[in-house]
């Protein structure tokens, strides 16, 4: 192997604005706010108060997930184009799976037994009552959530039979990771942004025509959900592949948000997907000036908050907290979720990701 040292080439600055500083931004805070927005949106369902606030056919939680996917598309595309496929996949699996599996175990062997004992007066039959705790973990390991209850719990609550109504999006998130992994093998995609832009446009056209396509897919729900979410991810990817040409600019940021708003308001059916790059750009722009507490900058607890919020809410509901109303219930759920999210980050997510970086 040659030992000749290669002289690093300077990357040209964007013609508009500046590159997003990987350390000088508040994306951790924005993602945490989005996770808590999902918690708030779910509170309405869990206390039995309806769908909660929404806009243009999508509730607050749906728009928060769209923001998550846009930011993820921006960051994950950068990861793919700067890493070999092995390192990329190791990093992505390390980010998603360990904390996810622990969350499944906590629901099955901590939360569910408490609810079962309250429901039945003892734990007799807990390990063998469908859906059994072990099967609830095993069945959901591939990220595609097929078992939402554990041993018939939670029951006697306004939203029974589901311990975690948030985890289903992780399957589609990882699907997007694999999609970008494949795009990274295309030599042209590393030289020009057009393959990613084309993929994004195709995804919007697919969702815009989903009603006509569904019969040919036997109305497959997974296909429909993927078609709805993938454009948001690819919208963030578009911003990433254009970042060497278009930086984050103080005028382009608010203009991008305005364009996103107009698209959502005036384009029926697929306005959000059409606005995806502008949503992602707007969030990135906000991250350049929004102050972020140093504690949040050092500790990204957004993923833990996202995966633990719903089961915490359901456990509170089992104890009757849904009688408190949406606002007090949301406050209690937030205060109970943050410690679990912090524990997930400190003891699972961060150590595993550090190990993954060292191994690759």
Candidates 190, 198, 273; CA nearest to 230 is: 273
Mean pLDDT of 235-244: 96
Q: Does the pLDDT of residue 268 top 90, yes or no?
A: yes
Mean pLDDT of 300-317: 98
Q: Does the pLDDT of residue 97 top 60, yes or no?
A: yes
The per-residue pLDDT for 158 is 97
Could you report the per-residue pLDDT of 6-56, keeping only the tens digit for each? 333 445 567 666 889 888 899 999 999 999 999 999 999 999 999 999 999
Q: Calculate what percentage of the chain has a pLDDT beyond 90.
A: 89
The per-residue pLDDT for 318 is 98
Q: Does the pLDDT of residue 226 top 50, yes or no?
A: yes
The per-residue pLDDT for 191 is 92
The per-residue pLDDT for 1 is 45
The per-residue pLDDT for 231 is 98
Neighbour tally for 45: CB within 10 Å: 19
Tokens of 291: 């102050």
Q: Assess whether the previous peptide bond of 154 is cis (omega < 30° from 0).
A: yes
Q: Are strands 58-59 and 54-55 parallel, antiparallel or unpaired?
A: antiparallel
b vs e for 161-188, b when ≥16 Cβ sit within 10 Å of the residue's Cβ?
ebbbbbbbbbbbbbbbbebbeebbeeee
137 with 108: CB under 8 angstroms?
yes
Mean pLDDT of 82-96: 96
Enumerate the domain spans of the chain. Answer: 27-198+281-359
Q: Does the pLDDT of residue 222 top 70, yes or no?
A: yes
Mean pLDDT of 148-173: 97
Could you report the per-residue pLDDT of 174-193, keeping only the tens digit for each? 999 999 999 999 999 989 99
Mean pLDDT of 223-247: 96
Residue whose structure tokens are 């995609």? 189
Mean pLDDT of 327-352: 98
Cα dihedral 248, 254, 255, 261 sign: positive
The per-residue pLDDT for 18 is 82
Label residue 360 exposed, middle or buried (CB < 10 Å: 0-12, 13-18, 19+).
Answer: middle
Distance CA 280, CA 271 (A): 14
Mean pLDDT for the chain overall: 94
Helices then strands, counting H and E runs in the chain, come out as: 16, 2
Q: Does the pLDDT of residue 142 top 60, yes or no?
A: yes
For 179-197, give the DSSP string. Answer: HHHHHTT-GGGGT-SHHHH
Mean pLDDT of 259-275: 97
The per-residue pLDDT for 15 is 61
- The separation between the first and the last C-alpha atoms of the chain, rounded to the nearest angstrom, is 20
Candidates 185, 229, 193, 218; CA nearest to 84 is: 185
Mean pLDDT of 50-72: 94
């Amino acid at each position: 192997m040659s030992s000749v040292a290669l002289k690093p080439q300077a990357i040209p600055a964007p013609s508009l604005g500046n590159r997003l500083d990987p350390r000088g931004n508040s994306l951790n805070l924005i993602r945490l706010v989005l996770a808590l927005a999902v918690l708030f949106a779910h509170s309405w369902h869990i206390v039995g108060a309806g769908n909660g606030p929404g806009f243009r056919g999508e509730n607050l939680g749906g728009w928060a997930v769209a923001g998550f996917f846009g930011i993820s598309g921006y960051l994950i595309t950068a990861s793919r184009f700067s890493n070999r496929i092995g390192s990329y996949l190791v990093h992505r699996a390390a980010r998603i799976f360990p904390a996810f599996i622990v969350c499944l175990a906590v629901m099955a062997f901590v939360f569910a037994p408490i609810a079962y004992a309250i429901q039945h007066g003892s734990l007799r039959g807990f390990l063998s009552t469908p859906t059994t705790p072990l099967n609830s973990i095993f069945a959901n390991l591939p990220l595609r959530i097929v078992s939402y209850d554990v041993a018939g719990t939670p029951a006697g609550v306004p939203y029974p039979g589901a311990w975690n109504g948030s985890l289903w999006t992780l399957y589609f998130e990882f699907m997007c990771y694999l999609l970008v992994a494949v795009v990274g093998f295309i030599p042209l995609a590393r030289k020009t942004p057009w393959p990613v832009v084309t993929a994004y446009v195709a995804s919007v056209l697919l969702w815009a025509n989903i009603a006509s396509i569904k019969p040919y897919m036997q109305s497959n729900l997974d296909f429909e959900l993927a078609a709805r979410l993938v454009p948001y991810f690819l919208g963030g990817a578009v911003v990433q592949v254009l970042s060497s040409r278009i930086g984050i600019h103080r005028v382009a940021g608010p203009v991008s948000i305005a364009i996103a708003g107009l698209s959502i308001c005036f384009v029926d059916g697929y306005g959000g997907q059409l606005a995806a790059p502008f949503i992602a750009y707007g969030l990135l722009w906000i991250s350049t000036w929004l102050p972020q507490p140093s504690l949040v900058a050092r500790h990204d607890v957004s993923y833990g908050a996202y995966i633990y919020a719903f089961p915490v809410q359901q456990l509170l509901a089992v104890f009757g907290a849904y009688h408190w109303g949406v606002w007090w219930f949301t406050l209690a759920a937030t205060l109970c979720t943050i410690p679990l999210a912090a524990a997930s980050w400190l003891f699972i997510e961060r150590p595993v990701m550090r190990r993954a970086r060292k191994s690759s």
